Amino acid sequence: MTDAAPPGAGLGKDLVGLEGLTGDQIRTILDTAEPFKEISERRIKKVPVLRGKTIVNLFFEPSTRTRISFEFAEKRLSADTVNISATGSSVQKGETLVDTARTLEAMRIDMVVMRHGSSGAARFLADRIPSNVINGGDGQHEHPTQALLDLLTLRDRFGELDGLKVCIVGDILHSRVARSNIWGLLKVGAEVAVCGPRTLIPLGIEELGVSVFGRVEEAIEWSDALYVLRLQLERMKAGFIPSVREYNRVFGVSAERLERAKEALVVLHPGPMNRGVEIDSDVADGPRSVILPQVTNGVAVRMAVLYLLAGGRPDAAEAAKQGET
Amino acid sequence: MLDPSRDVDGIGDLLVVDGRIEAAGGTLQGPDGCEMQDASGLVVAPGLVDLHVHFREPGGEHKETIATGARAAAAGGFTTVWTMPNTDPPIDDPAAVGFVRAEGERAGGARVMPIGAASVGLSGERMTEVGEMVAAGAVAVSDDGHPIWNAGLLRRLLEYTQTFGIPVLQHSEVRELAGFGVMNEGKVSTALGLRGQPNAAEAAMVARDIQLAELTGGHLHVCHVSARQTVEQLRLARERGLRVTSEVTPHHLALTETAVRGYRTEAKMNPPLRTEEDREAVRRALVDGVIDVIATDHAPHHYEEKEREFDDAPFGIVGLETALGLAMCELVEPGHLSLAGLVDRMSCSPARIMGIDAGTLRPGSPADIVLFDPGERWTVEPEAFLSRSRNTPFRGRELTGRVHVTLVGGVERYRRRAPDEAA
Ligand SMILES: [Zn+2]
């Protein structure tokens, strides 16, 4: 057997964020996801790739979507999974993250998927336990699997990510989805812009290689893809925007505004949506929307990440899919 | 022998009698039975003076006590330290000031001089009994850890303290701008997804405070300057001849915001580490004399408190035992300051701006003396600190310049043991 690629395609032990990956590593994950897409279409949606591996889904913040998507991915790869959510666990009784790490280490868990409210929490855990750590979203830092599924969705639609113009619209300041997408898109050669009220655009964003649009109309004209972020309604209370109504009027993505867009423009959204706030229903449910394919791709991309971190070779994914492990 | 307070730089003897300097320079003859100390190869300088340390007693003895702090100070070459009052409970009345004084005297380290709280309970509302605290031994007032945000209160403090000839030490931060920022606001905070504090949070407060210093004629001391815009404000104050002095920490001279990457909580401090431009600006200001002194902002924290998510970790690092070495590396080795200039910024200048009897080897002065080897290279091993805490971002860093002996009032308070003498 020839062993060209190193274990895990050189991803390392963990997936903490896309900032630390190369364009080639990202493309490898996307390529590996391709054969896994098809498993979800089968009658028996299961392959024995991770049989005997234990995975803990550790969710310090509620997130139905991401947790379910990871759980599907894990089960379809035949892993044993345990879900721990912050509610009702020792987490709420003041156990520190370092104690949680020690406990996980003692239990000899193979992989941990963690969602946490604090930026850097995934890095913190990854540095302290031998298990593979997959960041399921840490504070306002990164949400790498979300960005990977977004990249896969865009690649499905456009065939090529190099040179694609993508504008992320909304609350960039507080968004881990935005950060992971910025890194991921830049690394595969896309052009990235952001657009939103200046109060929600972080200082120094241009230094990451991103351009800024002040008006959503300009952003729409420029873009091949528009990535609409969820507006957390508490931003209004915190004084970042005067009102949700005004936000919708100035930055909302409506069918009317999209009339000036390129023919091929697509609209993405990480969900859950505030219809009538950042995105209008006729856009969310319209022909430009790729929001449902995003969800489908989420499972395939997470399967690919789990498979690669567990030591699977990218060129063997097709065989693994057939159950020939 | 190096004594910038008298422009002395040469080889000579120093005679100490009854805790005071009797004579300095040339060849001296001591009285019979005089104890001899050979300092050849070492620099003999006035003991270092640190205007800004946090010893955690009362309330945080697991981080640092007055005794461990005072001994760590002596190990760093300091003979006088000013302790901030933000303990639990705070040092906001004469009894508490007396406690810190007494514990400091018992400690057998550097001289411990308490700073009293500026407001009762550090709440920023009502002025403390400044006069009573001064009578009990307080040398200044400050709410450090918090800004004195109420401009009316700061105005009154800058007026009221003039009777007692003491300064008001201000932690300059517009809270509405700093928000809950845990690091500098900019490219790195954006990449890390951490809340940032802009330079303007500091500079805007300093600009306001300078107006109050001008209005009142009081002595405003600006703590731990970190932003280049703050330097511009201080330059204006200097040009206008106001009684505004300021300090910079060794870490703001040595590090930038990139030290936070990897969510390193040992690089979390307030004010935060800034950009390279800011670092250069504060260094230049220190060299030009726009910033008067180096102060450590020594802020001990227990290991477990720093071993956590970045947002939840406390601000601050220990600094007493690395200050001289860092200052040598950052200022003297690259040629920004002479060795005499460094001793001035760490000893003579703090004593001079605060009007205390220190920072000089002039005959008649207290024999507060440091002996250090300016060329000795050593590696920072926090486990060897005399401080009770090890929270430093400089672990493993090689420094130049090492303290050998520290004398306070002629009494040896620190002597470095050679490796073969180590217990
Ligand atoms: Zn302070």
| B268 closest CA partner among B325, B231, B307 | B307
What residues of chain B lie within 8 A of the CB of A121, using their CB?
309
CA angle B122, B124, B125 (to 5 degrees): 115
Residue A90: pLDDT over 70: no
Burial of B396 (0-12, 13-18, 19+ CB in 10 A): exposed
pLDDT of residue A323: 64
- Report d(CA A125, CA A111) in Å as an integer: 11
- A129/chain B closest Cα distance in angstroms: 14
Asked whether B86 and B145 are in contact (CB, 8 A), the reply is yes
Which residue matches tokens 């097709």?
A318
Identify the pLDDT of residue A132.
Answer: 96
B interface mutation test: which of A123, A143, A182, A205 has the most B CBs within 10 A?
A123
In this prediction, residue A228 carries a pLDDT of: 98
In the beta sheet, which residues pair with residue B246? B222
Distance between CA A185 and CA A179 in Å, rounded? Answer: 10
CATH number of B48-358: 3.20.20.140
CA A231 to each of CA A255, A271, A279: distance values in angstroms, whole numbers, following the listed order: 19, 10, 10
Spell out a b/e string for B282-311, using b for 16 or more CB atoms within 10 Å of the CB, else e: bbebbeeebbbbbbbbbbbbbeebbbbbbb
Give the residues of chain B that fall short of pLDDT 50: 422-423
Judge contact between A8 and A308, C-beta under 8 A: yes
With tokens 């815009």, the residue in question is B229
Q: Which residue of B has its CA nearest to A126?
A: B262
B264 has a chain A CB within 8 A of its CB: no
Q: Which has more pLDDT, B31 or A142?
A: A142
Which of A96, A179, A203 shows the shortest C-beta gap to B193?
Answer: A179
Chain B, nearest residue to A120 by Cα: B263
Chain centroid to Cα B361, Å, comes to: 21
Flag whether the ipTM exceeds 0.85.
Answer: yes
Residues A229 and A231: their CA atoms lie apart, in Å, by: 6
Task: Tell me the per-residue pLDDT of B8-36, one tens digit each, with 9 for 90 and over.
Answer: 999 989 999 999 999 998 888 888 888 88
- Separation of alpha carbons B123 and B120, rounded Å: 6
**pLDDT digits 0-9 by tens, A242-280:** 999 999 999 999 999 999 999 999 999 999 999 999 999
Cα separation, A143 vs B319, whole angstroms? 36
In sequence order, what are the beta bridge partners of B134?
Answer: none
Pairing of strands B8-9, A80-85: unpaired
Q: Centre a 10 Å sphere on the Cβ of residue B165 and count the other Cβ atoms it contains.
A: 10
Task: Check whether A1 has a pLDDT greater than 50.
Answer: no
Residues A183-209: tens digit of each pLDDT: 999 999 999 999 999 999 999 999 999
Contacts of A263 (CB under 8 A, 6+ apart): none
Cβ B33 vs Cβ B262: under 8 Å: no
Domain residue limits, chain B: 48-358
Encode burial over B88-109: b for 16+ CB neighbours within 10 A, e otherwise: eebbbbbebbbbbbebbeebeb
